[in-house]
Amino acid sequence: MRAKAVLITVVSLLAIGSISSASPEERGGGSRLDQVSRRGELRVCSTGDYRPFTYLDPKTGVWSGIDLDMAGDLAKRLGVKMTIVPTTWKTLVDDFRRRCDVAVGGVSITLERARHAFYSKAYVVDGKTPITRCENAARFQTLEQIDKPGVRAIVNPGGTNEQFARANLKQATIVAHPDNNTIFEEIVAGRVDLMITDAVETRWQAKLRPELCAVHPEKPFTFSEKAYLVPLGDVVFKHWVDQWLNLALHDGTYERISKPWLG
Predicted confidence pLDDT, tens digits, the chain (263 residues): 444 433 333 333 333 333 333 333 334 458 999 999 999 999 999 999 998 999 999 999 999 999 999 999 999 999 999 999 999 999 999 999 999 999 999 999 999 999 999 999 999 999 999 999 999 999 999 999 999 999 999 999 888 899 999 999 999 999 999 988 899 999 999 999 999 999 999 999 999 999 999 999 999 999 999 999 999 999 999 999 999 999 999 999 999 999 998 87
Report yes or no: 196 and 205 within 8 Å, Cβ to Cβ: no
> Going by C-beta distance under 8 Å and a sequence separation of 6 or more, which residues neighbour residue 110?
160
Predicted model pTM:
0.76
CB 171 within 8 A of CB 147: yes
Cα(188)–Cα(150) distance, rounded to whole angstroms? Answer: 18
Chain centroid offset of residue 162 CA: 14
| CA separation, residue 7 to residues 11, 19, 107 (Å) | 6, 19, 50
Asked if residue 146 lies in contact with residue 130, where contact means CB atoms within 8 angstroms, the answer is yes
